[in-house]
Amino acid sequence: MKTRATQLKAPGQIVLVERELTVGPEEVLVKGHLSGVCGSDKAMYRGDIPEKIRLPFWIGHESGGMVVEVGSKVREFQPGDKVMAFNWCNTFADYYTVPVSGLQPVPDGLDMDLASLGEPIACAMYSALTCGAQLGDVVVVYGVGFAGSIIAQAVKRMGAHKVVVIDVAEHKLAIARRLGSDVLINARTLDPVQALRDLTKGRGADVVVEAAGSETSMNQATAMLKHNGILALYSWITQPVTLNIGRWHDDGLQIRTTGLVHHTEQERVIWTPWALRPVVQGQVDVRPLITHEFPLEKVAEAFEVADRDPAAVKVVVRT
């Protein structure tokens, strides 16, 4: 069958083209509901292309939708099932095919707009639930984009005494404040390490979740932790960076990665419903983070806005 589908032709160049789809024996054909522009999509749009990816690239991986057809060997899904995509499968399209291992069923009670962002929401929630934040802690979330803002809400609900959020975008800090964060630090105007020292009377943060993805944020996250504190890594850093990790050793910091999608597919099937449960229950509010929506024919504009507009948190394309 034919579908409209989006290609990243070159950095900064997003085009909507016609694509012929065939459904392989272990693949599922999905009618897309909505697709989100991920931070990683944005990085590639800006020319930061990981080695394993070749241009032109069929872009898009955050989506959900309805199963239309299944390959001859697929037993896990049938037409009419609601699914969430967890693979690079060109989700900025009317229809897309996914290997069966790249899909998850939509949990009962999760509406399709949020289910379509099931991958980024589950990743952020998994990071919050496994970052080690406990009742009474001072928890820093460094970077409050879509993921950071979800993590900040969740750790507050989990009992953090103070949730401190750090970003350079004032409007993102403002959204985090509205969603319950206690202390906002704009890293452009304030030294976040000193601010944390002042706030904790020199002790440092119990947990820092690093969700900004830069050399500076990594080093500052290390510097603002208490002795034996936990550095939880969320962000995707694609270029080599120089880190000052003396403190990791000297002060016995605990370093943990919290990426849900980096478990095996078998484990992911178990962790995803668990990670999404507080969202289904309404304990974490994701809706205010969807700041921009475009129809598929304006997918290039969606990328432009995601790239340039500092007020953009999650940009979605309705397909």
Binding positions for Zn ion, rule: CB under 5 A: 38, 62, 120
Taking Cα atoms as reference points, which of 41, 56, 122, 131 lies closest to residue 86? 122
Q: Which residue is nearest to Zn ion, using beta carbons?
A: 38
Rounded to a whole number of angstroms, the minimum distance from the CB of residue 126 to Zn ion is: 13
Of the pair 120, 192, the CB lying nearest Zn ion is at 120
- Minimum separation from the CB atom of position 223 to Zn ion (A): 28
User: Is 187 or 284 the residue whose CB approaches Zn ion more closely?
Assistant: 284
Residue whose CB is less far from Zn ion, 101 or 186: 101
Least distance (Å) between residue 48 CB and Zn ion: 14
Nearer to Zn ion, 77 or 234 (CB): 234
Residue 297 vs residues 6, 41, 117: alpha-carbon distances, Å: 10, 18, 20
Token digits for 141? 């979330």
**Based on CB atoms, which residue is closest to Zn ion, 70 or 84?**
84
For Zn ion, the closer CB: 83 or 193 = 83
Closest distance to Zn ion from the beta carbon of 234 (Å): 12
State in angstroms the smallest separation of the CB of 38 from Zn ion. 3
CB of 45 to Zn ion, least distance (A): 13
